[in-house]
């Protein structure tokens, strides 16, 4: 059993009296990639906002490394769909923002951020501005910024959904290889079944309304997974099971 890094217990949340998510229980182990899969509007982002401390749950608790962080923002890295790059700042300063906010002086913050540029495939971009980067490069920059906020646990809310199919495939390969090196535990929202199977150690299938965890599927094929996995019997079997669970 992997060491539990992040856990949400019995999370429920209402908006305007309507129950949006109900009795959610999920866990994230050390060095795990876990996907939360469900159709748009089922409550995935609401759950992430609760885990990130942006929203307080009506019931339930969130734990990080055993510490109760319920309702406390800034404890867990959170990368949303939009990269939120500041257009007037260089790529280096955009990536250094979490360190600036933490009070690290600008020279040290920039040096620390720059030391990761090669690993994240961003060499040569430090003096550029976000508008000069491709969509894939902007997502790499946003991921490095998330990593600098917390190198332990991160939440990713559909970070590749805005990319075209070819770029998305390339980003998946890069992301899987990177996560093997940096050992970050990640909880990943998606509504893309193929993406969930390819990237994850486990997949939580969310149905509703209200949003509930209907099933947990363990992806036993070791990471990183190549293109051949996408046409394997194992992949097709996982996909068939997820489709069945989503339509149940």
How many separate domains does the chain show? 2
On average, the pLDDT of the chain sits at 88
Q: What is the pLDDT of residue 110?
A: 92
Which tokens in the block code for residue 227? 């293109």
Q: How far apart are CA 173 and CA 225, in angstroms?
A: 8
Same domain (yes/no): 138, 156? no
Q: What is the mean pLDDT of residues 32-60?
A: 92
Same domain (yes/no): 118, 196? no
Q: 172, 198 in Cβ contact below 8 A?
A: yes
- pLDDT level of residue 1 (50, 70, 90 thresholds): low
Q: How far apart are CA 28 and CA 52, in angstroms?
A: 14
Give a yes or no: residue 114 inside a domain.
yes
- pLDDT level of residue 41 (50, 70, 90 thresholds): confident
- Only one residue has tokens 């003096």, namely 127
Q: Which structural domain range is residue 175 located in?
A: 4-76+152-247
Residue 83 has pLDDT above 70, yes or no: no
Same domain (yes/no): 135, 172? no
39/50: higher pLDDT: 50
163/3: higher pLDDT: 3
Q: How far apart are CA 107 and CA 220, in angstroms?
A: 44
Last residue of a domain, one of 119, 149, 179: 149
Q: 213, 24 in Cβ contact below 8 A?
A: yes
Same domain (yes/no): 200, 158? yes
Nearest to 211 by CA among 2, 6, 25, 5: 25
Same domain (yes/no): 141, 157? no
Same domain (yes/no): 227, 106? no
Residue 78 has pLDDT above 90, yes or no: no
Percent of residues, the chain, with pLDDT higher than 90: 46
147-187 pLDDT, tens digit each: 888 768 889 888 777 777 878 888 788 887 777 777 788 99
Max mean pLDDT range (49-63, 119-133, 163-177): 49-63
Q: What is the pLDDT of residue 248?
A: 65
132/173: higher pLDDT: 132
- Residue 229, domain CATH: 3.40.50.300
Give a yes or no: residue 81 inside a domain.
no
Q: What is the pLDDT of residue 172?
A: 82
- pLDDT level of residue 24 (50, 70, 90 thresholds): very high
Weakest-pLDDT range from 27-31, 42-46, 56-60, 146-150: 146-150
């Amino acid at each position: 059993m992997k060491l539990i890094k992040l856990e949400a217990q019995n999370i429920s949340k209402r908006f305007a009296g309507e129950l949006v998510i109900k009795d959610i229980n999920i866990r994230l182990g050390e060095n795990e990639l876990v996907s939360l899969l469900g159709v748009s509007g089922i409550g995935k982002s609401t759950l992430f906002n609760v885990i990130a401390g942006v929203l307080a749950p009506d019931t339930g608790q969130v734990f990080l490394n055993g510490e109760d962080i319920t309702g406390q923002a800034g404890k867990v890295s959170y990368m949303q769909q939009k990269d939120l790059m500041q257009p007037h700042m260089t790529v280096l300063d955009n990536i250094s923002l979490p360190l600036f906010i933490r009070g690290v002086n600008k020279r040290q913050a920039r040096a620390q951020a720059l030391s990761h540029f090669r690993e994240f495939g961003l060499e040569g971009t430090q003096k550029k501005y976000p508008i000069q980067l491709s969509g894939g490069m902007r997502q790499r920059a946003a991921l490095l910024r998330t990593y600098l906020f917390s190198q332990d646990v991160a939440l990713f809310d559909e970070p590749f959904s805005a990319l075209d199919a070819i770029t998305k495939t390339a980003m998946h390969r890069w992301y899987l290889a990177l996560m093997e090196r940096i050992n970050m535990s990640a909880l990943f929202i998606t509504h893309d079944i193929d993406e969930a199977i390819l990237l994850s150690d486990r997949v939580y299938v969310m149905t509703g309304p209200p949003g509930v965890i209907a099933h947990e599927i363990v992806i036993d094929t070791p990471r990183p997974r190549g293109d051949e996995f996408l046409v394997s019997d194992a992949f097709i079997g996982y996909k068939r099971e997820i489709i069945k669970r989503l339509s149940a």
